[in-house]
């Protein structure tokens, strides 16, 4: 990989190539460390400039823009060639944290807030940056680290407000918010010790699911409190799918046959939604990305993190999300725990049937969410998500084939 190094208005060339084991292109911790060595001064990655790989988002040849936090003394500034100038030029829909100015403003905000709490922070460690968010770990003088997360309010939930909603019914479910700046999508969180639960034990599943379902059931009784959430209810998803189909084929590579089948699917969706409503589960706050990697546990009960996708919707969509990360046996256990929890809170409901009926709607919801990403990000970031809406729409059609 390579990186174009700037400091303010000065350009210091394209450094590299070098190798880094980064997994996702967005996981830039190792890139920052290597780039700092090559630059001779501390640097932070602002954004992905270009990525070429057979598996978009992973491996291959990657080019970043990095901003030096101090003027490099061992390097000479040089003029920008036309191609590089175009790549580094301002772009529509660029994330605020993907510019040197926005990056500096976010870190200054976090450090100011921590200092006011009596927890002055050392230099931030950059963990992730991409079109959806940026994540920094800040060691503090108290010995307890803090985390800065930035997202775009244009197409993401206001996480501080969502955490407050859930925390009002079960404080143990959510991280501790130290400060929030909703207008700029900034959130400062206390560190949560432990590990992300990518391969959760049966004990972890049996702990986190009933607690989260209980919170969702409680919030369903407070519709006024949920009024500010993005609307991803079944009826809204249907309307949004129809609107997306009107944009095809420009937005995806779906074939004419697939587009025709999707219109038939959309026409029949109201009947499915009526059956889903008949299962008796309430519309409530959804996490929106409720996979076990967003559960974090140590010795105590798991904490659920990352609420950027939170919305108002049908709880079966959260109930279906962990499947892709679980073995078949673990999926069965997860479904049993989830359905039992909802039966306790809504006697007479049929959560198992809701999971079955909601599967095509689940894929529709993710097709719409991925398209929302593409609608709000700059061109260089599109490789992360291109093809995802079509893949999810095809999965929705496959559900129909299996049902037939």
Q: Which of 116, 295, 287, 290 minimizes the C-alpha distance to 188?
A: 116
Q: Which of 265, 324, 261, 264 minimizes the C-alpha distance to 289?
A: 324
Residue 300 has what pLDDT?
81
Assess whether the region 98-190 and the region 195-403 belong to the same CATH fold: no
Give Cβ neighbours of residue 250 (< 8 Å, ≥ 6 apart).
none
Residue 20 has what pLDDT?
75
**Average per-residue pLDDT for the chain:** 94
- DSSP code string of 247-303: TTTTTS---HHHHHHHHHHHHHHHHHHHHHHTT-PPPEEE-S---GGGEEESSS--E
pLDDT band at 401 (very low <50, low <70, confident <90, very high): low
Q: Which CATH architecture fits 98-190? A: 2-Layer Sandwich (3.30)
Burial class (CB in 10 A: 0-12, 13-18, 19+), 160: buried
- Is the pLDDT at 403 greater than 50? The verdict is no
Q: Which CATH architecture fits 195-403? A: Alpha-Beta Complex (3.90)
Q: What is the signed CA dihedral for 108, 110, 116, 118, rounded to 10 degrees?
A: -120
pLDDT digits over 334-352, tens only? 999 999 999 999 999 999 9
pLDDT digits over 243-302, tens only? 999 988 777 789 999 999 999 999 999 999 999 999 999 999 999 999 999 999 977 889
Q: Where are the domains of the chain?
A: 2-89, 98-190, 195-403
């Amino acid at each position: 990989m390579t990186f174009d190094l700037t400091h303010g208005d000065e350009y210091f060339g394209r450094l590299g190539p070098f190798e880094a084991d980064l997994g996702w292109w967005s996981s830039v911790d190792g890139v920052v460390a290597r780039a700092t060595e090559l630059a001779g001064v501390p640097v932070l990655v602002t954004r992905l400039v270009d990525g070429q790989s057979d598996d978009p988002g992973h491996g291959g040849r990657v080019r970043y823009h990095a901003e030096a936090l101090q003027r490099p003394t061992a390097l000479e500034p040089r003029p920008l060639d036309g191609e590089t100038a175009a790549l580094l030029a301002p772009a529509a829909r660029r994330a605020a944290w993907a510019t040197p100015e926005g990056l500096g403003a976010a870190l200054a905000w976090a450090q100011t807030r921590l200092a006011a709490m009596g927890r002055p922070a050392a230099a931030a460690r950059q963990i992730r940056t991409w079109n959806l968010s940026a994540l920094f770990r800040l060691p503090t003088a108290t010995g307890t680290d803090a985390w800065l997360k930035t997202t775009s309010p244009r197409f993401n939930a206001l996480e501080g407000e969502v955490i407050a909603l859930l925390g009002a019914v079960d404080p143990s479910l959510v991280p501790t918010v130290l400060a929030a700046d909703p207008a700029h999508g900034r959130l400062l969180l206390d560190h949560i010790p432990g590990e992300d639960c990518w391969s959760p034990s049966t004990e972890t599943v049996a702990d986190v699911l009933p607690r989260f379902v209980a919170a969702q059931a409680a919030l369903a009784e407070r519709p006024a409190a949920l009024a500010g959430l993005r609307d991803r209810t079944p009826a809204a998803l249907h309307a949004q799918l129809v609107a997306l189909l009107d944009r095809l084929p420009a937005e995806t590579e779906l074939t004419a046959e697939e587009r025709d089948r999707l219109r038939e699917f959309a026409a029949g969706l109201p009947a499915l939604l009526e059956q889903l409503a008949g299962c008796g589960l309430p519309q409530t706050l959804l996490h929106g990305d409720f996979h076990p990697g967003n559960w974090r546990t140590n010795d105590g009960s798991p904490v659920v993190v990352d609420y950027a996708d939170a919305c108002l919707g049908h709880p079966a969509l959260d109930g279906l999300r962990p499947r892709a990360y679980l073995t078949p046996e673990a999926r069965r256990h997860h479904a049993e725990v989830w359905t039992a929890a909802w039966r306790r809170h809504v006697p007479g409901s049929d959560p198992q049937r809701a999971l079955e009926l909601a599967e095509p709607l689940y894929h529709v919801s993710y097709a719409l969410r991925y398209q929302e990403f593409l609608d709000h990000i700059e061109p260089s970031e599109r490789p992360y998500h291109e093809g995802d809406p079509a893949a999810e729409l095809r999965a929705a059609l496959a559900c129909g084939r299996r049902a037939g």
